[in-house]
Amino acid sequence: MAEAYIVEAARTAGGKRGGALKDWHPADLGAQVLNALVDRSGVDPAAIDDVIVGCVSQVGEQSFHVGRNLVLASKLPESVPAVSIDRQCGSSQQALHFAAQAVMSGTQDLVIAAGIESMTRVPMGTPFMLPMQAGLGVGPWSEAIKDRFGVTEFSQFTGAEMIARNYQMTRETLDRFALESHRKAAAATEAEKFALEIVPVTVVDPEGQEREHVRDEGIRYDASMEGLASLKTLKPDGVITAGNASQVCDGASGLLIASERALKEHGLTPIARVDALAVTAGDPVIMLMEPVPATRRILERSGRKLEDIDLFEVNEAFATVPLAWLHDIGADPTRLNVNGGAIALGHPLGATGTKLMTTLVHELRRRGARFGLQTMCEGGGIANATIVEALH
């Protein structure tokens, strides 16, 4: 089978809800990443065969085919097609899978996999809340679905609490993991580890001055156990708080995927190779445990062993998720989310898949390491898993 290579990987710095990126229309914000991928690679924009864009809340400013709108807002010519996809939080990781599969199949040679989510301008839940408020329909789950699983709704927050109970995780355990996420993200930022991957975006500060947004806004440099302990739990008898869960975030990210033929034809130098792909699905009620079987599946399919993997990225939707993953998989915790995760850096939903992969590839190369594995929980009890090999 033909190989799929990552030529460029880039992302915007995360913006807090109502923060630095609040004035950017999602199409324009995503276009900044598409432009950066083309500029940094030096490839002819017209040579791009397709653009695959992950986005969760495809309504309002992210509706009417947000992927195509990213292209129309960018320097790519109108002849470049695009598609918008939704695999919930794994949307842009799935965009990477589709892009790699297109290249591996030989049907396309240059494909951009990207993600966009402005959680400020299109808040989480908007796609189903607005119709409900307008009296349109009964929501996304039919009575047959709810009866089958014995629930009245499917909630990631309920799933996170279920994991905590099943693994006997204390509030202190979750808060300590959250604190480490902030500390690692702060250290990485101060050491400028994210500098190569971040696309500068011009924003206007509260004083009305223009500046370049190049630092993730959500990092709490003064985070402490005392501060985290002061936050209220989402449920009176629960352990999940806003402090040990991922942050609402605005952001865009993307990868340029190329075939070996495209590398030669356009004089491109790859930075990584897509080694293996997997996607699995399971219990939609607890929902967030699927990264465990997805990891087992991809290791089995790839023939790789756990010890072959130098770095892991497991999305910090809630602290419970990577902690449960560590418990069941038995990975070395010092190789997990080494520059912090979504608890500190934010989780821009549809953009997180290619955001995490961007960080993973750059960190592998910085360390002179070889293999990285990325997985994340997704709404409905689904998980993608990807192994990449960094090229030096």
The β-bridge partners of 378 are 382
Q: What are the residue numbers of the active site?
A: 89, 347, 377
Non-local (6+) Cβ contacts of 307 within 8 A are none
147: number of Cβ within 10 Å: 10
Distance CA 185, CA 339 (A): 5
202: number of Cβ within 10 Å: 10
- The CA-atom distances, in angstroms, between 387 and each of 93, 250, 288 are 11, 26, 20
DSSP, collapsed to helix, strand or coil, labels residue 351 as helix
DSSP 194-240: TTTTB--EEEE-TTS-EEEE-S-TT--TT--HHHHHTSPBSSTT---
**326, 333 in Cβ contact below 8 A?**
yes
Non-local (6+) Cβ contacts of 87 within 8 A are 54, 93, 94, 378, 382, 384
Distance CA 214, CA 29 (A): 14
